[in-house]
Structure 1
Amino acid sequence: METWIELVKQKMRERRLTQEQLAERIGRSQGAVNHWLSGRRRPDLDTMNDVLRELGEVNLEVVQILRVNEQRGRYGHQAAAAVPEWAITRPGFSYPVLEWAAAVDSKPSISAYSTGREYVSDYHAKGPAYWLQVEGESMSAPFGRSIPSGALVLVDPCAQAAPGDLVIVTAVVVQEAIFRELAIEGGRRYLRALNPNWPVMSWEDDWVIKGVVVRAMLDLQ
């Protein structure tokens, strides 16, 4: 909840929106918005996501996780117990949250990089997908696509990257992972940050795309 509150306050400052103006746009009272941003009350998930979309955060979603064994994905191994029909509202696949260093490894393992957390997504991965927690402000933008620091991104290492996709790229020589948007102009590839204050990076010969970011969400823990 604290992450959502801080992000909303940040985006309101950037857009110079008052609580009253935001309340009017989402069809709620200014008092309700004040209660949410002060932490006195918690809005429902639909409202939280309505606020994010109104503030331009169309790539982020707040989700409530219902953990059932039947919803485990490629990393899952436990036998499924009987699950009532009401508990499964849509297909779900559980993927681990790994440390950022996992993106550099050619075959990242859970045991080596696990943070002890996992989250469910409706995305059915083509490969052994995993979540990474975004660090830094290079992908945080005042308008349009924006992935703020602290958000979780789901990386599918077997998805085919196309221009405009958000990708994880590794530079083999310096052993670091870079999170950027893939761009192609005039037959040449580039990496672009969503933050307009960060420079465009020309593609280097030793760079390798390690995976495509297929989902993003706020980590409310």
Structure 2
Amino acid sequence: MHIGDRVAAEMAAKGWSEGELARRAGVTQPTVHRIISGESKSPKRDNIEKIAKALRVSSRWLWDGGVKEENESFDANVEPTTGPTRYYEYPEISWVQAGVACEAMDLFNVGDFEAIHPSDAWAGPNGFWLKVRGPSMTSTNGMSFSEGMIILVAPGSDVENGQYVVAKLIDTNEATFKQFIWDSGKAYLKPLNPAFPTVEVDNTWTIVGRVVDAKWPRSVL
């Protein structure tokens, strides 16, 4: 096991998500993700100290493994306080704007975004919200994205099988929201509504970004 495995195991034992650990430790969710995934080969010592304190284990055990030790600085008679949840603000743009190279745009300067919505998910410096159109991502069971919900897109993010993405046709810049599926060496864009067709991702398509948050806007509540 490496340090990320130990962090993940402690998170799982407590039933915490990456976002919850990040909130309790006072670090960003991407920092937690990079440590757990092993992407961060040399995590900052200060971040590991904060994570160890939040998990109530020793930072030495997180670094080196062996016999698990409790965090020496944790006082069982004192309930630790948690810091405020970190929020980021991103503009809601149109589907036409989503079809262009958003990663190269300063979206706060496009002049005609619909609104600004907060999220505790990090979508990068060029993240943006889109309003879900149509019923293609509405499912009768399990995960579902109804028309009118908003989705937060992290442009240029790496995409894995089963994640949700915004993709576009290269020639027309027409954008769509679907689930990314990798099967038998081929990529597909799959709707959650079985009444709509699954589309193979060929050289006419490109992935705009990964969806990292979804919710109803306050305006509809």
Q: TM-score band, normalised by the shorter chain?
A: 0.5 to 0.7
Name the TM-score, length of structure 1 as normaliser.
Answer: 0.57
Name the TM-score, length of structure 2 as normaliser.
Answer: 0.57
User: Which residue of the partner structure matches residue 94 of structure 2?
Assistant: 99
**Match of residue 160, structure 1, among 152, 158, 161:** 158
Q: CA–CA distance in 2 between the matches of 1:214 and 1:198?
A: 23
Gap change, CA 1:113 and 1:213, over 3 Å in 2 = farther
User: Which residue of the partner structure matches residue 61 of structure 1?
Assistant: none
Asked whether the 8 Å contact 1:170–1:176 carries over to 2, the reply is yes
**Secondary structure in 2 matching 1:114:** coil
Q: CA–CA distance in 1 between the matches of 2:173 and 2:166?
A: 13
**Match of residue 187, structure 1, among 185, 189, 207:** 185
Asked whether the 8 Å contact 1:96–1:114 carries over to 2, the reply is no
Name which of structure 1's ranges 98-107 and 150-159 shifts more when overlaid on structure 2. 98-107
User: Which residue of the partner structure matches residue 213 of structure 1?
Assistant: 211
Choose between structure 1 and 2 for higher RCO, CA contacts under 8 A separated by at least 6 residues. Answer: 1
User: Which residue of the partner structure matches residue 40 of structure 1?
Assistant: none
Runs of at least 5 residues in structure 1 that lack an aligned partner in the other structure: 1-87
Asked whether the 8 Å contact 1:99–1:113 carries over to 2, the reply is no
Query: Aligned Cα RMSD in Å?
Result: 1.8
Asked whether the 8 Å contact 2:131–2:148 carries over to 1, the reply is yes
User: Which residue of the partner structure matches residue 6 of structure 1?
Assistant: none
Q: CA–CA distance in 2 between the matches of 1:127 and 1:206?
A: 27
Q: CA–CA distance in 2 between the matches of 1:152 and 1:170?
A: 18
Deviation of residue 169 (structure 1)? Answer: 0.5
**Secondary structure in 2 matching 1:101:** helix
Asked whether the 8 Å contact 2:94–2:114 carries over to 1, the reply is no
Deviation of residue 173 (structure 1)? Answer: 1.3
Asked whether the 8 Å contact 1:171–1:177 carries over to 2, the reply is yes
Runs of at least 5 residues in structure 2 that lack an aligned partner in the other structure: 1-82
Structure number with greater Rg is 2
* Percent identity over paired residues: 28
**Secondary structure in 2 matching 1:102:** helix
Instruction: Please list the CA deviations of residues 126-169 of structure 1 after superposition, one character each: whole Å capped at 9, or x if unmatched.
Output: 34101011111110111111000000000000321111010010
**Match of residue 123, structure 1, among 115, 121, 124:** 121
Asked whether the 8 Å contact 2:123–2:152 carries over to 1, the reply is no
Asked whether the 8 Å contact 1:96–1:130 carries over to 2, the reply is yes
**Match of residue 90, structure 1, among 73, 76, 85:** 85
**Secondary structure in 1 matching 2:85:** coil
> Residue type of the partner of 1:195?
N
Asked whether the 8 Å contact 1:166–1:181 carries over to 2, the reply is yes
**1:176 has 2:174 as partner:** yes
Superposition pairs for residues 19-38 of structure 1, below 5 Å?
none
> Residue type of the partner of 1:114?
D
User: Which residue of the partner structure matches residue 204 of structure 1?
Assistant: 202
Deviation of residue 113 (structure 1)? Answer: 6.1
**Match of residue 137, structure 2, among 123, 129, 139:** 139
Asked whether the 8 Å contact 1:98–1:113 carries over to 2, the reply is no
